[in-house]
Chain A
């Protein structure tokens, strides 16, 4: 059925139709005109022949009596006249007949009622075409009156078979039909070739356009002819080219965006109008510890169970206005986030909401630490100052006379002045280390030698507390470090190990080879540290036992300084401790 609807069929069919129609029209009119012309010729020739015969007969006696004479005349004329001659008298009786023997002539029926004879008897030329029962064929009859001095004396009738006309017409028709047949074949063949020339490239164009429509731009339409189809092919090729370029451009852009999306530290979620998750980046998964990929299509509240976040999404989707808010989450993670929610406007309406979630817990933590540090510093400075000021005031107000206490008061003032001194010097050290301006003067440092020197400095404290010191560092233990700073580390650690040790306690200094690093451990047999304090022990001003630390002259900054120095050396610090048995502080240094 498709073939009947195809362009090829339509074109071929219309060509054939044109051929058939024009040939039929030609045949029809040619036939008519030829027939009319032949008849006219025939009539003219018969008329002139009839007039010739009439002129011979005008003076002859036309009666049955003279039939024999007329018969002779007719027989005489017949070879010259190529028609059947009949001579009829006024009564309609046949007097002579060229095609019949004389004996039959007079027995023939009366011809007065024959149309052509009837007219001739009335004085005009009569003619008629009819089937002759005598000759058994279609005949043209022509009759003219025979006149003698304007009086009709009889009729001469000529008859001629029409088969010659019919034959001629048949011949003509045969030629026309034959021509039509060949023309049709020619039209069919040429039409087929021509329509193929149109339809085949069109089919190719359709085939390739289908490929274009599904994004396959690997092919181009080849049609070099400079016709309309060629132009169409060119246009389609150009369109495919520009589409391909546009698509690759868009693809590149979306790849770039995707890369940004994937690698951003901020968590990104896109939700649709129903608050369902359309997409999210890896950061958001790690922030909220989302493991499955099945979160897509689920409402955001199911994945991040936080009402405030859900409300932000709702308000953005409803109002189309961007929202920026700080959010403190306790579940699923305890963190502070800066949430920026922006609407995605599509055709004037808000179709989605983009959430950018920035984890600012660390920033907040640092801010809090800084604030705490400032508060701590001020507290740590003000406390000794209060004592100094208070005792000096008290002494001046009369306590100087109080011999029992005045000396003790001055001692307290001295202690606190020293404490302030220590504190300020530790603060300066810390500030210097933190300023990053602290350039390390790295060199080969013999840790064994350095430790021995440090221990010498603690001789009196060791003796006072009857501490046993066990330095088992191997000779020439070389590390890449800043000697002055590592000396500070050793001083702080050994100082702690002695201060927080018990009477007759043990301080052990030893090392471990960690491959590319050296681990130095300073172990004491002191009070130890509770697990809850271990994680905070390196914080500034963090003291397990405030009163004890202060009474021992600690500033609360010693371990913090240790940690900073070791971090500058790209090493690590740590502590292992069992409460009541002692602690082991360690640090690592590159070899």
Chain B
């Protein structure tokens, strides 16, 4: 079956970016890859993605800022934001949550866990995100 959800991967490490992209594409998702904060901002302000997989430590604009901007000025609807970061402290996770991130995975994360979240989101309607993840 062809999955209709559009996913963007914002991750500066090319290997990790490619890794996620490979797995998502294998699950038949429509995947877009960006490698820095600025390109991510541009892309996200012009196009709607159902799921945003977002690294925090990015060159240019960091993941927290992208998350905040996206929640404040969403382009044509709410995005489901999955943060992936080497930052593992409670403080960072809470901060991400306050900014509106819907899920938080700490590196090194399990690809299976990421895929589970993506697949779950795929089952839902966009507006249900809030209900499920709050």
Contact = CB atoms under 8 A, between A and B. Distances in A.
A and B found bound together: yes
Interface of A: 375, 378-379, 382-383, 385-391, 393-394, 397, 399, 405, 412, 415-416, 546-547, 550
Interface in B82-111: 86-88, 107-111
Contacts of A546: 12, 59
A386 B109 contact: yes
Contacts of A405: 22
A375 B107 contact: no
| Interface of B (DSSP majority class) | loop
Contact of B15 (A379, A393, A397, A416): A416
Contacts of A393: 110-112
A412 B19 CA distance: 10
Contacts of A379: 57, 86-87
Interface residues of B, number: 21
B111 to A, nearest CB: 5
A270 to B, nearest CB: 42
Contacts of B130: none
A547 B60 CA distance: 13
A340 B46 CA distance: 54
Contacts of B35: 547
A553 to B, nearest CB: 13
Contacts of B111: 389-390, 393-394, 397
A391 B112 contact: no
Contacts of B23: 394
User: Most chain-B CB neighbours within 10 Å: which of A387, A390, A394?
Assistant: A390
B32 interface: no
Contacts of A389: 108-111
Interface of B: 12-16, 19-20, 22-23, 35, 57, 59, 86-88, 107-112
Nearest to A392: B111
A583 B20 CA distance: 38
A533 B112 CA distance: 40
Nearest to B109: A386
Nearest to B88: A378
Contacts of A397: 111-112
B86 A387 contact: no
A382 B14 contact: no
Nearest to A393: B111
18 contacts: A379-B86, A382-B108, A383-B86, A385-B107, A387-B13, A388-B108, A389-B110, A390-B16, A390-B19, A391-B15, A393-B111, A393-B112, A397-B111, A399-B22, A412-B15, A546-B12, A547-B12, A547-B35
B114 to A, nearest CB: 9
Contacts of B13: 383, 386-387, 550
Nearest to B19: A390
B57 to A, nearest CB: 6
Given A390-B19, A394-B23, A378 B112 contact: no
B19 A391 contact: yes
B86 A382 contact: yes
A394 B109 contact: no
Given A390-B19, A397-B112, A546-B59, A382 B12 contact: no
A343 B109 CA distance: 57
Q: Nearest 10 pairs between A and B by C-beta?
A: A382-B86, A386-B108, A379-B86, A386-B107, A389-B108, A382-B107, A385-B108, A387-B15, A390-B19, A393-B111
B16 A387 contact: yes
Contacts of B14: 547
A383 B112 CA distance: 17
A15 to B, nearest CB: 102
A137 B19 CA distance: 166
Contacts of A391: 15, 19
Nearest to A382: B86
A394 B22 contact: yes
A386 B108 CA distance: 4
A389 B23 CA distance: 14
A382 B85 CA distance: 9
- Which of B14, B16, B87, B107 counts the most chain A CB atoms within 10 A? B107
A383 B107 contact: yes
A546 B23 CA distance: 25
Nearest to B105: A386
Contacts of B88: 378
Contacts of B110: 389, 393
A550 B88 CA distance: 22
Given A386-B108, A389-B108, A394 B19 contact: yes
Nearest to A383: B13
A586 B121 CA distance: 56
A284 B106 CA distance: 47
Contacts of A415: 15
Contacts of B16: 383, 386-387, 390
B85 to A, nearest CB: 9
A324 to B, nearest CB: 27
A375 B13 CA distance: 17
Nearest to A391: B19
Nearest to B59: A546
A464 B109 CA distance: 37
A415 B16 CA distance: 13
Contacts of A386: 13, 16, 86, 107-109
Contact of A375 (B87, B108, B112): B87
A394 B86 CA distance: 20
Contacts of B15: 387, 391, 412, 415-416
B12 A378 contact: no
A525 B86 CA distance: 36
